[in-house]
Amino acid sequence: MNAPVFPELKIPDTIAAGPGPGNTAQRVLDAYHDQGVADHMNPDVLRGMIESKKMLREVWGTNNIHTFACAGTGWSALDMMFSVVHPGDKIVLFVNGTFSGIDELSVRMKGATPEELAANSLDPKASSVVTIKVPHGESVTGEIVEKALTEHKPKWAAMAHWETGSGRVNDIRGFSDACEKHGVMGLVDAVSSLGIAEFRVDDYPGIHGWASCPQKGVMALPLTYAPVTFTDTYIEELKKVGGRCFVHHPIMEARHWAIIEGQDVEKGTYHRTHSPYAVASFHEALRMVLEDGMLQRAEKYRTAEKALRAALTKMGCNVTSNMTSLLVLDLPDQLKGQEKDFVNKCRAENFCIWPTLSEPTQIRVGILNLLSEAELTEIVSRFGDMLNRFDYKTDVDAAVAELKSHLN
């Protein structure tokens, strides 16, 4: 049988009001296609990678030489960061939602002994991996970390900075301090926070590896490069123990970004194929983040979140998150049990909000690159209209007025 030739694929324009990917700016999309055809060793492509590396050091707030980006999405960067964890390594994982839960699975796959992996390869039990569960809707605190590290004395500890599943900010200050105190090397999933939160990697000396993604705070939806940064201590340890993967090897992938033998060099060497489109759009997204300024950007998100929280609360919702790019909420009591239906009806109209992916079912409304008064007003109006269509009578105009009073 011949494969059919399908009609050209067309994808609609939606309001991407979820936890991520966000509403990527037209500038970034334009930079993707306004380029010539060139190969991965073209001097301008290599220059774009070197400039991106330098901009990333600014975005992360670090002098770490090994600061670059892993080709792929957030999980690619996390796979790279966890590549230093070997079978039998003692590691403590703090889990308070969907994403730190997947980080934990990923670490169990790496930390399991061959026998443990073979016994249940898709969900191995790894006796050297200690999981500290924190309930959905709560944050990982410094005390929780301190207590666990005192008790277990691991080599590594890991957690998410912002847990996107439940919208909670975890305490990286407490985490870093406890790691330093106990001589533990900290690893952080900063997929949701980079480009939104104001933090500087170099202020957290207990944390040695950081991994992020292209499409949340950095806003490069052409899923190109996932930012990573590693301290010299991490790189020394990796050199000593080795890694079992070529493509996500932090030292090897860094070479194409012109980081060789712990030094910035003039020109990168081949690691894998890079495209001018990917490099140019990522470069443009980083330029946009830095043009905003990290502090100003964090402030814009804080203001927008506070205003949207007030408007949704006015309509009877209960917000339980504390991230500034994402609101996780319960619908009014009367609509309990209808969360998924509510989200599906919004999504059918290209108003793309999300439910939580693990229990309990809540609703997630994100504001990545949706910070203008007009965009926030649209979110409040669409949400309020849907509440009314679910026979929950609410005053949408009053909610919009509430939103505006917090923006001005």
Among 177, 189, 284, 305, binds ligand PLP (CB under 6 A): 189
Residues 1-40, mask of contacts with ligand PLP (x by CB under 6 A): -------------------x--------------------
- Please report whether residue 192 would count as binding ligand PLP according to CB under 6 A: yes
As measured in angstroms, the least distance from the Cβ of 163 to ligand PLP is 6
Nearer to ligand PLP, 104 or 189 (CB): 189
- Residue 73 or residue 231: which is nearer to ligand PLP going by CB? 73
Residues 275-294 touching ligand PLP, rule: CB under 6 A, are: none
Comparing CB distances to ligand PLP, the nearer of 301 and 392 is 301
Residues 6+ apart with CB under 8 A from 330: 317, 318, 320, 336, 362, 363
Token duo for residue 90: 């003692």
Give the bridge partners for 67, in sequence order.
229
Q: Is 168 annotated as a binding residue?
A: no
Can residue 104 be called a binding residue for ligand PLP (CB under 6 A)?
Answer: no
H or E segment to which residue 344 belongs = helix 339-348
Tokens matching residue 211: 């991994």
Q: For residue 99, state whether it binds ligand PLP (rule: CB under 6 A).
A: yes
The binder of ligand PLP chosen from 60, 68, 75, 354 (CB under 6 A) = 75
Please report, as residue ranges, which positions from 212 to 241 form the binding site for ligand PLP (by CB under 6 A): 213
CB of 294 to ligand PLP, least distance (A): 19
Closest to ligand PLP by CB, 99 or 383: 99
What DSSP letter does each residue of 209-221 carry, written as one string? EEE--SSSSS--T
b vs e for 326-365, b when ≥16 Cβ sit within 10 Å of the residue's Cβ?
bbbbbbeeebeeebeebbeebbeeebbbbbbeeeebbbbb
Residue from 164, 229, 356, 394 touching ligand PLP (CB under 6 A): that is 164
Using CA atoms, how far apart are residues 217 and 195, in angstroms rounded to an integer?
A: 4
Q: Which stretch binds ligand PLP (CB under 6 A): 106-114, 124-132, 187-195, 244-252?
A: 187-195
CA distances from 301 to 121, 159, 359, 367 (A): 41, 23, 27, 8
Give the span between the Cα atoms of 131 and 146, in whole angstroms: 14
AA identity, residue 297: R
Question: How far apart are CB 258 and ligand PLP at their closest, in Å?
Answer: 25
Strand order in the sheet with 326-330: 318-319, 326-330, 363-366, 354-355
Q: Are 288 and 219 in contact (CB under 8 A)?
A: yes
Q: DSSP string covering 220-240, please? A: -TTT-EEEEEE-HHHHHHHHH
Q: How far is the CB of 286 from ligand PLP (least distance, A)?
A: 17
Is 191 one of the binding residues for ligand PLP (CB under 6 A)? yes
Q: Is 137 in the site for ligand PLP (CB under 6 A)?
A: no
Q: Which position among 23, 24, 67, 73 is part of the footprint of ligand PLP (CB under 6 A)?
A: 73
Residue 66, strand partner residues = 230
CB of 15 vs ligand PLP, minimal distance in Å: 18
In the bound state, the residue with its beta carbon closest to ligand PLP is 74
Binding annotation: 364
The contact set with ligand PLP (CB under 6 A) reads 20, 73-75, 99, 160, 164, 189, 191-192, 213
